[in-house]
Amino acid sequence: MPEGPEVRIMSDFINTEIGHRRVDRVEKSPMFKTKCDFSVLENKNWKMKSFARGKEMIIEFTNYDDAEEIHYLKINFAKIGSMLTYNTPEDDEFFDRRAMVRFYSEGKIYCISDFTRFLITRWSSEWDTNRSPDVATQHNEWRDLMHEKRKIEYFKRPIFQLLTDQRFFNGIGNFSRSEILARTRFSPFTTLHEILSDEILRNDFFQTTKDVLNQIHRFGGFQFKHWINPFGKKDLAFNKWVRAYNKPRKAYFIKDTKGAKFWFIKRWDEEYAEWVGENDILDPTLLKKIYSKNKQKRWQ
């Protein structure tokens, strides 16, 4: 699913490309089975403004003819969500299947797309209370939350297992997790409690997390697979910047408790094996790649 940087980019696109336009029609795809009723926007002209917070987006609709009429559409993205632009629906034979929410303005159709149709929309101006502040754009608030929660039992787990938990790391996903932990001075198998208890590691973690998310945003977002940058930006330096994610020559991957692949750079292989041994986790395939038979005996 789109991570924090991608949601920010889509929000930026709405504000810069659609925000100054008059939107005369808003509709949902007939294939989009949301219970959210879009009829409140029918037969009126709207001005759009977007806000992003982690993996969430809120779009503000203000009536062009009555500024006191305002509606807020809350959007939570599913696995494959992007912003697309069409001159006519015939531009794409999959228009009905992917363009879930459509905004018509000045001869163009701007769409929030999702192949899976698991996009969630509802009328609300409130952010989810079970998500942390945005790690990048509300960084100081997020650091305060980390300080407040630093002693909880949940944080005594390896950081790689926690970093995609949106209750504490809103905006971080599978890709940014790998790239953040590829740039820190501590092993991804270090517990979050240890990191937050050490001033040097804590500051390294805070600064690296913020820097990586902002760098992904500047590059134009996650430039693999299905996500599409709505501005059409494709930075050729992006692939060289990536250190771990989907880099089998530089990194190994393991599956986390949710089944998602976590890529970590190979210099942390000893720490990985130690973690496997301490927790009695059976992963002989990766251990065989890392160690000779003699070294493997240490963890058996």
pLDDT of residue 280: 59
Judge whether 49 lies within some domain: yes
Q: What is the mean pLDDT of residues 198-205?
A: 97
pLDDT-derived band at 55 (thresholds 50, 70, 90) equals very high
Does residue 87 sit in the same domain as residue 152? no
pLDDT-derived band at 299 (thresholds 50, 70, 90) equals very low
pLDDT-derived band at 282 (thresholds 50, 70, 90) equals low
Judge whether 208 lies within some domain: yes
Q: What is the pLDDT of residues 232-255, one digit of tens each?
A: 888 889 999 999 999 999 999 998
CATH of the domain at 61: 3.20.190.10
Judge whether 20 lies within some domain: yes
Does residue 114 sit in the same domain as residue 256? no
pTM for this entry = 0.91
Residues 57, 7 contacting (CB under 8 angstroms): yes
CATH of the domain at 268: 1.10.8.50
Does residue 86 sit in the same domain as residue 150? no
* Beta-strand pair 120-123/70-76: antiparallel
Our count of domains for the chain comes to: 2
Environment class of residue 104 by beta-carbon count within 10 Å: exposed (0-12), middle (13-18) or buried (19+)? middle
Q: Where is the domain boundary, 97, 123, 149? A: 123
- DSSP summary character for residue 248: T
For all residues of the chain together, what is the average pLDDT? Answer: 90
Judge whether 77 lies within some domain: yes
Does residue 185 sit in the same domain as residue 103? no
Does residue 114 sit in the same domain as residue 204? no
Q: Which domain holds residue 111?
A: 4-123
Judge whether 236 lies within some domain: yes
Give the H or E element holding residue 101.
Answer: strand 99-105
Q: Where is the domain boundary, 91, 123, 155? A: 123
Residues 250, 244 contacting (CB under 8 angstroms): yes
Does residue 172 sit in the same domain as residue 206? yes
Give dist(CA 105, CA 99) in Å, integer: 15
- The neighbouring-strand residues paired with 252 are 264
Judge whether 129 lies within some domain: no
Q: What is the DSSP string of 117-166?
A: ---EEEE-S---TTSPPPTTTTHHHHHHHHHHHTTSGGGGSBHHHHTT-T
Judge whether 262 lies within some domain: yes
For the chain, what percent of residues have pLDDT higher than 90? 70
Sequence-distant (≥ 6) Cβ neighbours of residue 75 within 8 angstroms: 56, 57, 58, 59, 101, 112, 119, 120, 121
Q: For residue 238, count other CB atoms closer than 10 A to its CB.
A: 18
Q: What is the pLDDT of residues 5-37, one digit of tens each?
A: 999 999 999 999 999 999 999 999 888 888 899
Q: What is the pLDDT of residues 86-121, one digit of tens each?
A: 887 777 777 877 889 999 999 999 999 887 778 899
Judge whether 115 lies within some domain: yes
Does residue 61 sit in the same domain as residue 150? no
Q: Where is the domain boundary, 72, 97, 123? A: 123
pLDDT of residue 181: 98
Does residue 106 sit in the same domain as residue 145? no
Q: What is the mean pLDDT of residues 149-168?
A: 96
Give the H or E element holding residue 271.
Answer: helix 269-279
Does residue 187 sit in the same domain as residue 220? yes
Does residue 274 sit in the same domain as residue 148? yes
Give dist(CA 204, CA 182) in Å, integer: 12
